[in-house]
Amino acid sequence: MPIRTRIFLNTLGILLLGMGMAAILSWYVVEQLFLNTQRENLLSQARLSATTLQGQPIPVSSEPYAQTANAQPGIHTHLLEEQDAIVLALPNEADIASSRLEYRDGLNENLYARPEIDSALNGTPATAIHRVDDQRVLYAAAPIYSETGQISGIVYIASPLAPSGLPVSVVLQLLGALLVAIVLAFAAGTLLARRIARPLEQLAQAARSVAAGNLMQQVPIDKNIKELHSLGESFNYMTGSLQKSDETKNVFIANVTHELRTPLTVIKGTIETLEDGALDDTEGRGPLLSSMQRETERLIRLVNELLVLTRADAGALQLDLRALDLAELVRARCEGLSRLAAPRGIELTVEAREQATVRGDADRLSQVLDNILDNAIRHSPDNAPISILITKEGREVRCSVSDRGKGIAPKHLAFIFDRFYRADASRNRQTGGTGLGLAIVRALITAQGGRVAAESEPGAGATITFWLPTGP
């Protein structure tokens, strides 16, 4: 079942249920209001009749009182005066005990036992509802006072009530209002279903397009409904991320292809040269074999770096996190890389102002430091120092590596941690770089709960800084 139909049926059902309950309550309230109005009107009529008869002799009739005898439509009377009221004389105790109210069907009851008459005999006008021949009848009784202020009789009048409790005209009006409400509920259900379903239908269509491979999909943002607004923003963010990932994947494949093609081309050319007879040339084959070895090592290094990044992306890096002295580790790595720096007169200086214990993996941090220091050495001019500053900042330890090279242009600075990104592509290829060193630095630092950043001013060198949480 389509979601629009389901929303429509659910909404319509809820509205109809609510209107049904409201209709029942409204019927009850209107019926009570109508009945109270009838009571007040009939009681006012009884009081008016009683006031008119005040101080007059009570008329006497020898005919029995019959509730079903009608002198006027809607008014049951036995003894008629100008006010169309029944006038009952004040009885004595014997009359109260023997007075019967006779019916045409032979049934009878004690007239003076009725509560409204009893209340009137005690001086309080009252009303009551009784059933006569399966029809409800409203009665009103009001006392008649003599000139001396004593109760001399009772005015007793009646009016039949509709079987439904309300007049037919009122019932028709309520039914008409209910019909209009149902039509409005139908329209509201349709509009609400369309209002909610349309963004979801657009989202479903866009999702099908994404599943088919079209990532250039964006859906309109509905700001009026919080959940739909959030869903639309999430979907657009997802497709934007997929587009970026797809573009990154394409660039990554192109870069890997390029990086693999160069050494493979060299290796293939070397093999062909050896096959053409250079293999028998003892003096000439040495450089060729050395070139093959360099390119093979480059391929192995590229594959290993890609493997590290792939494992970092998948969260599958095996890390041996423990407390270690970062300053000691930095000094050890500087000593290991001094063979690259010394021939060019580059000095590596380490400054640790206080104890710098971090929680990290020694092997992975060694790889991070090697990549940063190797990058700094490659981009430093001869006889320029490289300084490493280690400080403690709150619950983190900061390590900054600064060189005196050309620096990084602002347009490149935000991308130097991206894979295969080169601010100076030609120089990196000449020195054997793959463009993955700083990407590996960010992946390894992030995996150990740290962060990394870069600062640079063109012509004033660059500073690569990473932070790691302090050790226990």
How far, in Å, CA of 252 to CA of 250, rounded? 5
The answer to the question of residue 91 being in a domain is yes
The answer to the question of residue 459 being in a domain is yes
**Contact (CB, 8 A) for 137 and 100:** no
**Contact (CB, 8 A) for 139 and 131:** no
The answer to the question of residue 290 being in a domain is no
Per-residue pLDDT of the chain (472 residues; tens, 9 = 90+): 666 676 667 777 777 777 778 778 877 788 788 888 888 888 888 888 888 777 666 555 444 444 434 333 333 333 333 334 556 555 544 444 444 444 333 335 566 678 888 888 888 899 888 887 777 888 888 888 887 788 877 888 888 887 776 777 777 877 888 788 778 877 877 777 777 777 777 778 888 888 888 877 877 777 777 777 787 888 888 888 888 778 777 777 777 776 777 778 878 887 877 777 665 666 666 777 777 787 788 788 778 878 887 888 777 788 889 999 999 999 998 988 888 888 899 999 999 878 889 999 998 899 899 889 988 888 888 988 999 999 998 899 999 999 988 888 888 888 888 877 766 654 444 455 667 888 889 999 999 999 999 998 888 889 999 999 987 7
* Number of domains comprising the chain: 2
pLDDT value of residue 201: 76
Amino acid residing at 33? L
Q: Which residue has the tokens 């319509």?
A: 12
pLDDT value of residue 92: 46
Q: Report pTM.
A: 0.50
Which one of 119, 148, 170 terminates a domain?
Answer: 170
The answer to the question of residue 117 being in a domain is yes
pLDDT value of residue 86: 58
How far, in Å, CA of 230 to CA of 227, rounded? 5
pLDDT value of residue 452: 94
The answer to the question of residue 330 being in a domain is yes
**Contact (CB, 8 A) for 78 and 65:** yes
Which one of 170, 192, 222 terminates a domain?
Answer: 170
pLDDT value of residue 107: 39
pLDDT value of residue 387: 93
pLDDT value of residue 453: 93
Which one of 170, 192, 227 terminates a domain?
Answer: 170
Segments forming the whole domain that contains residue 61:
3-170
The answer to the question of residue 250 being in a domain is no
The answer to the question of residue 246 being in a domain is no
Q: What is the CATH number of the domain that holds 446?
A: 3.30.565.10
Contacts of 19 (CB under 8 A, 6+ apart): 178, 181, 182, 185
For residue 151, give both structure tokens.
């109760």
Phi, psi for residue 206 in degrees, rounded to 5: -65, -40
Report in angstroms the alpha-carbon separations of 414 from 306, 426, 437, 453, 454: 21, 20, 15, 9, 8
